[in-house]
Structure 1
Amino acid sequence: MQTQSETRAIAPEIQSIANTIRITGWIAFWIQLGLAVVSGLTLLFAATGRGFAEQPIAGLGVGIFWAGCGILVLLFSVYWDFRYTRIGKRLGNINPALHPSKADTVKVIRWGIIAALIGMLLNLLGAGSTIGVLVAKSISQPPGVAITDPYKIIRALDVFVAVANINGIAAHFVGTISSLWLFERVNQH
């Protein structure tokens, strides 16, 4: 026989916000995880290719460093997205004792926003330094087809560092947008 507390349903607005948090968490989780894998593999290829290249990649070490830092923060953001799904599940539970408070939920979402913004900043620093190196290499080449210094040629490995940073920026942008949207939705209730 069911007790009165077991038959009691969750308020529709709480169920709605629980579903929103859970679904948004899953969507952001998978998008950011996919972009993290692409960014990580691209960076790994660029970093390992440096050892096989006959010439050093001058100046791209800074871009690789910032991209690596951005990917580490991105992995934290992916974990945080998964945490959103758990918060949504707890909020959708019939037992109100298991519901996280609104203040705790807002605090978790704020940390998600902060992590995404920090990650975006790190990848912007990496992209900026990488693009700076690529521009310097491109303007140092003489016009025409004769290349006098092979160290000034823009190679595919140079571009891979920029690609890793741009993918990191895109992933952190997804995290920022999803966290800001959740922040707005939670504050409306």
Structure 2
Amino acid sequence: MLLVVVLAACQDNKEKERPTMDMQQAGQRAEVILDGTMAAIHPSVKWVHGTTSETACSTGLNRPTGTTTVFRSRNILTVVSKERHGELLEQVRRYWEQQGARDFSVFSDRDVPRIRARTADGFAVILQVGSIGNVFVEAGVSCVEDSAMTYPPGTPGQPGGPNKAELTPREHSDFWSSGDPRRK
């Protein structure tokens, strides 16, 4: 009998552990995180909205839960040389840390480095260098309440935005594109 009471109490607690925001709120919060991250990079870089990702959450038995994982991204169009990857990751890491992020994970590969962390409100944040030298930043959260969503103008694949995301860096920067790490 005690087992039945404990299981019932656990089930009640699971019902109370619903996400505290919906998809629209999660998308807006991810945009704020990404805007702040882009503003923290000095000298500034040129960027565009990247693709979005919304993935329905399910139980272990593929049953819908009424929740969705939401990610937003930015693609940096400024060419960042391999010699500047470390500086870029460090600037972003410092900013995220100042914003209360924790649980940092750094992959220090020379060609495709990345840094990941979790914000105080549970968002995953990732900065990664891709295989073609492209740099992108993502922010997202798992399993928030399903809702309608809006997107910023220029979001790829959304009304008013391009069909495909721009991935290839094409803007030159005296600082970020420089192969001379001593250049300031």
Superposed pair shares fold, TM > 0.5: no
Larger gyration radius, structure 1 or structure 2: 1
For normalisation by structure 1, the TM-score amounts to 0.28
Q: Greater share of helix residues, 1 or 2? A: 1
Which structure has more relative contact order (CA 8 Å, sep 6+)? It is 1
